A and B are shown apart, each in its own frame.
Chain A
């Protein structure tokens, strides 16, 4: 990363007053909403899942903001600039996650009244798996939140000129404060507002940028820059190349589509829906608003490359500084005030995501661990424990962020890989098959987690999977082995355990739960009890595993 002032364009604010007022006003609004919503909290249900009252539009917007995060304004644009089309394909995979959450388990777990996937694991697999799942949730959420905290602290560092540590703790206090005040009520409505702030902060300033770049479709940034394509192709002939081979895109599917399915902070949003029907309708709003946001962000990346190419600066900007492309563009074309609004949008993205992480950690610790150990405590005490968990989560993330691990840049994608291998199979198969059981679930989660950790380049450098290059650096190659291995373990161990009398596995014992979660009457009819789909799934995993262990 270069020092500020080394590029021949504006890199930071010349006049801070207007940006500070804009950013300050957004925080006043967030705290105002949280304070207003505080009176709604009467118990754990209100604190963890907003009393299950959130409608499709608010929820669709809130999920979108939580899902997009600060990375949309910084990391996504940087990777689009560097990796180009393949990264676009990677991010489109991500879009698939929310519809798949709803289809595969969101509606069933909402019907069951779960707070988190770990609550479901307690009902479905028992206390041990519930604790394993709660620990996985905390680990994955910490990995994910870490990147957001550091990104937010870096923005504060750039904006105010504070040192990193001070920026980090100010951010930690601000975020923890508004999450503690109103729990999921305030976070849901704040996240919905934050989404629209993010969209307008990306969309409207891009109209100005595209107009000045000479695009005739400047009034609709998501798809309005097609007339600049020939110029881009002349200047950057490889911009539209697919670059990588099929396996790369398949690995992306496993990590970027199946990973987020297991992410509790996304699933928890579906559990806040006022009913199952509202949960299903949420997907429509999510797809619409998220697609609009991402198409706009791709336009930012396109415009960034275009502008730097036109100025002859594309090779002079340090790779690490591509994170700030959206700010550079707006400084160059729109000035300090509008860039202040863009920064407010970026902060909104970080806040919405990290607040979701903190609530997921809080729910896992304050609800699932307490229930797993069957502690007898009052509802009030449980809610208070939720508050304490949020504060503790904020503190822990801030302390880890003080001295971030070397793999921090890719910690989010690493979290996706762990989620895909250790969390998603346990939840999805638990919903759709009465034949899987606790022995398979525990073995699968452990195998999935350990395989990702061992094979990723971040833990043991000497042991790896796949090849060199981007996916190896991102730790995503490991998923081609970890996911099929986890699925095979789950299915084989579950079916073998059934045949060992001393383990006492009885698929019949799940019947009432399976019927209830799918909305069927408890009428003695066996449902989802065939082993055939599991065996077919296990067979499908074999070629994927074989493909994964081949040299790339």
Chain B
């Protein structure tokens, strides 16, 4: 699979996963509120106050790890391959080009 396809799928996956954990309101109205408590709070209240944001943090970390390790490494390889394959005569970089 090409790098940009992986990047697009990772983005769609992250979007759906983050949205799914945060949208407890949709799930609880569709499937009902679970009948147990966490720290004394009804589960659905606890999820909206703390569980959802905590899971958001973890899922974003997973996305971050994947993008910064796998995707960025592949982009660097593509850049290196392009630099070897073409002499552009370009000197210096445009603003932002080397920011990664």
Using CB atoms and an 8 Å cutoff, list the residues of chain A in contact with chain B.
85-86, 88-90, 92-93, 95-96, 99-100, 103-104, 110-113, 217, 222-223, 225-227, 229, 240, 242, 244-246, 248-250, 252-253, 257, 275-277, 280-281, 283-284, 287-288, 290-291, 294-295, 298, 432, 516, 518-523, 527-528, 533
Residues of B contacting A250 with CB < 8 Å?
26
> Given known contacts A85-B44, A92-B24, A103-B63, is B49 in contact with A222 (CB within 8 Å)?
yes
Contact with A226, one of B3, B41, B56 (Cβ below 8 angstroms): B41
Task: Determine whether the beta carbon of B99 is less than 8 Å from that of A276.
Answer: yes
Task: Determine whether the beta carbon of A523 is less than 8 Å from that of B95.
Answer: no
Contact with A288, one of B30, B40, B57, B78 (Cβ below 8 angstroms): B57
Q: Given the complex of chains A and B, what is the CA–CA distance between A516 and B18 in angstroms?
A: 27
Residues of B contacting A523 with CB < 8 Å?
78, 81-82, 85-86
Contact with A103, one of B2, B11, B85, B95 (Cβ below 8 angstroms): B11
Additional A-B contacts beyond A242-B29, A284-B57, A432-B11 (6; CB < 8 A): A85-B45, A88-B45, A89-B48, A92-B52, A516-B97, A523-B81
Which residue of chain A has its CB nearest to the CB of B5? A527
Which residue of chain B has its CB nearest to the CB of A252? B25
Residues of A contacting B22 with CB < 8 Å?
92-93, 95-96, 257
> Given known contacts A521-B79, A523-B85, is B53 in contact with A113 (CB within 8 Å)?
no
Task: Determine whether the beta carbon of B33 is less than 8 Å from that of A242.
Answer: yes
B 1-17 binary contact with A (CB < 8 Å = 1; else 0):
01110011001001100
Q: List 27 A–B pairs whose Cβ atoms lie within 8 Å, in order of A's numbering.
A: A88-B48, A92-B25, A93-B22, A93-B23, A95-B53, A96-B18, A103-B11, A103-B15, A223-B41, A226-B40, A229-B41, A229-B42, A240-B44, A244-B29, A246-B29, A249-B29, A277-B99, A280-B68, A284-B57, A291-B54, A294-B53, A295-B49, A520-B3, A521-B83, A523-B78, A523-B86, A533-B8
> Given known contacts A223-B49, A291-B50, is B26 in contact with A518 (CB within 8 Å)?
no
Give chain A nearest CB distance to B35 CB in angstroms: 12
Q: Given the complex of chains A and B, what is the CA–CA distance between A280 and B71 in angstroms?
A: 14
> Given known contacts A516-B97, A523-B82, is B39 in contact with A242 (CB within 8 Å)?
no
> Given known contacts A275-B99, A276-B100, A521-B82, is B25 in contact with A249 (CB within 8 Å)?
yes
Task: Determine whether the beta carbon of A226 is less than 8 Å from that of B75.
Answer: no
Task: Determine whether the beta carbon of B25 is less than 8 Å from that of A89.
Answer: yes
Ordered nearest first, which 3 A-B pairs have the shortest CB separation? A226-B40, A89-B25, A521-B82
Residues of A contacting B11 with CB < 8 Å?
103-104, 432
Q: Does B70 sit at the interface, judged by CB under 8 A? A: no
Task: Determine whether the beta carbon of A275 is less than 8 Å from that of B100.
Answer: yes
Q: Given the complex of chains A and B, what is the CA–CA distance between A257 and B4 in angstroms?
A: 25
Task: Determine whether the beta carbon of A284 is less than 8 Å from that of B44.
Answer: no
Give chain B nearest CB distance to A304 CB in angstroms: 16
B 58-90 binary contact with A (CB < 8 Å = 1; else 0):
001101100110001001001101110110000
Task: Determine whether the beta carbon of B78 is less than 8 Å from that of A277.
Answer: no
